[in-house]
Structure 1
């Protein structure tokens, strides 16, 4: 079989690999790589696609053998992956020269308990570290022990970002109120129809310029639920790294709120709570983490998973520390130090998640599991660094502006802080802000602070531009009437944050 090779290591295919191993005696697979849906160094390693780069998915050739006389309960799995960086023609030549699968130097895979075939790069000791969180602890199966955080949550998922996110609060309010009006009209119309044969999808208003439907919203319509606009539901959200937007945070218009009504239930809670966000299981990009005090989008990192310090009732009462008493006791016992607090553990976690050795060594483990935290020798070195990093990242909008940035103004033009779309120079030391202004003197070290496949500064440049949603026609304009210098100042602040982050990370104690 010639197939998409995503089943080789995809978490969603764990069950498929299990059953293939049960159903066959031997499995041979040649991984031809070529997955264009990756980025950075991983994308370069994938090389060209064997089908002359005409498709974007990775490709593999599988041979499944079943012997009737075999008594084995699980198959032998034999794998071969072509070299990194090969072009399409080189892969085609490899197949031609091989002639037969028996001429391919395959190696028998050591399949683990999770039915992982590609186990190269995994480190068994990772599983001996303390998990930041588990589904069992989250579901309160037994006592909240053997984990650091009692609960965690994915970032929120709206399924209608163009409608419920916007840089401009007034624009967001108008968009949401318009959609609510259309929705409530459809609720009333649906209630009046009597035929059971009417198809809801055909019945409702389908103009993308008026409303964005989702399965959840349609179910609410079937139930006859109406929506009311409340201004207090307009919240600040971390949409992407170092890019906050206004969000209309409502259970009916936000398709998946997950645990966030109990993590950041009101705006006031943002003054005291913090959330460590990490890239989630199955991420294609390198592991990254970011702390915030606002509601994060599920795509703020990649498949974002969030670990809060506090949890609450949904009205903001009954504040509870989310780090387990068990974890506090474990840390105090291990380090023989009863002065350690839960905030210290929170910050220790955050710093350790930034450690280059941790990220590199456990790269493969972090793609298949939430972080597990080891006991480093120097607890306080990590805890203090983590506190610095958290303060820097949560309060990035008030960070000092980088003083080495030089403003080059176009002669004869009026002062103009309005942004349409910014562009970096090839060497990335200059930023074309607009026709009036170019910023010069961006230090190359600022790009060393990366979140996924972009640096923090590149995330700002990517997000702070005027966008028009193709389907709805909604305009998302980051320019602020009341703070015309906000974006240009943000650039200078994020450069400072980036340089300071790199400095702190480079100074972390050894693991």
Structure 2
């Protein structure tokens, strides 16, 4: 029996149709042989239906393959996600005074838990921690520091404004010890008042339409949806 390459045929019945609407369309053709099939011809990339436009490959890249590479032929020499706190309710607030109180209470609670854990002699703190969500959000960063007996302190000189959501600035604590992921933001904004401009665009995994926004202050990870930030400096 000889082997032959298979041929695949495709008919696009349309988007956003109900099951009944699709069945009605097929029924009206009176048979499968009457459907206006299109033979699929995959391109060199293996795309079958939504085939990519090869012209994109000729365009200048937005970001370099290696971050901060001055030799790359790209529009930007660096790129970073926005700040990811994993504890927004403890690090953001519209009231600076309220935020200071929240952070100080969180720090005090953390240090009490740290001291109690050190007395247990255990290596894993997860089984003995107080998971009161009104006091703290135990991210893996906090748990790791607690197990290492890292003392937390609240430095109110690091309070600043950050771009939380489109057109919403909030008070924020720009202190690496509290932030789950800073990504490259500490290079783009070494200090909270560093002068820079960053264009933030929707990142990978966002289901909404593409958006872009520009800011001169620290951007949050969800400012524009998994924010990918391209800096002037």
Unaligned regions of 5+ residues in structure 2, if any? none
Match of 2:180 in 1: 255
Match of 1:331 in 2: none
Deviation at 1:231, TM superposition (A): 1.1
Distance in 1, matches of 2:66 and 2:10, equals: 36
CA displacement, residues 165-216 of structure 1 (integer Å, 9 cap, x when unaligned): 11111111111111111111111122111245xx533211111111111122
Match of 1:296 in 2: 219
TM-score normalised by structure 2 residue count = 0.83
Matched, 1:306 2:233: no
Is the alpha carbon distance of 1:118 and 1:191 closer, same or farther for their aligned partners in structure 2, counting shifts above 3 Å?
farther
Unaligned regions of 5+ residues in structure 1, if any? 1-68, 311-511
Deviation at 1:275, TM superposition (A): 0.9
Distance in 1, matches of 2:156 and 2:207, equals: 37
Distance in 2, matches of 1:298 and 1:70, equals: 53
Is the alpha carbon distance of 1:155 and 1:95 closer, same or farther for their aligned partners in structure 2, counting shifts above 3 Å?
farther
Is the alpha carbon distance of 1:189 and 1:119 closer, same or farther for their aligned partners in structure 2, counting shifts above 3 Å?
same
Match of 1:185 among 101, 105, 112: 112
Return the structure number with greater relative CO, CA threshold 8 A, min gap 6: 2
Match of 1:119 in 2: 50
Matches for 1:64-213 after TM superposition, within 5 Å: 82-91=13-22, 105=37, 107-108=39-40, 110=42, 113=45, 118-120=49-51, 122-134=52-64, 136-138=65-67, 140=69, 144-195=71-122, 200-213=125-138
Distance in 1, matches of 2:33 and 2:157, equals: 67
Matches for 1:435-474 after TM superposition, within 5 Å: none
Match of 1:6 in 2: none
Q: Secondary structure of 1:246's match?
A: strand
TM-score normalised by structure 1 residue count = 0.40
Q: Indicate if the aligned counterparts of 1:298 and 1:304 stay in contact, CA closer than 8 A.
A: yes
Matched, 1:224 2:149: yes
Q: Indicate if the aligned counterparts of 2:7 and 2:39 stay in contact, CA closer than 8 A.
A: no
Deviation at 1:164, TM superposition (A): 0.9
Q: Secondary structure of 2:171's match?
A: strand
Distance in 2, matches of 1:290 and 1:86, equals: 34
The structure carrying a bigger helix percent of its residues is 1
Q: Indicate if the aligned counterparts of 2:198 and 2:216 stay in contact, CA closer than 8 A.
A: yes
Is the alpha carbon distance of 1:82 and 1:173 closer, same or farther for their aligned partners in structure 2, counting shifts above 3 Å?
farther
Matched, 1:268 2:193: yes
User: How many residue pairs were aligned?
Assistant: 229
Deviation at 1:267, TM superposition (A): 3.3
CA displacement, residues 368-394 of structure 1 (integer Å, 9 cap, x when unaligned): xxxxxxxxxxxxxxxxxxxxxxxxxxx
Aligned-pair Cα RMSD in Å: 3.1
Deviation at 1:71, TM superposition (A): 11
Q: Indicate if the aligned counterparts of 1:78 and 1:109 stay in contact, CA closer than 8 A.
A: no
Is the alpha carbon distance of 1:111 and 1:171 closer, same or farther for their aligned partners in structure 2, counting shifts above 3 Å?
farther
Moved >4 Å (runs of 4+): 69-72, 75-82, 91-98, 101-107, 115-118
Q: Secondary structure of 2:199's match?
A: strand
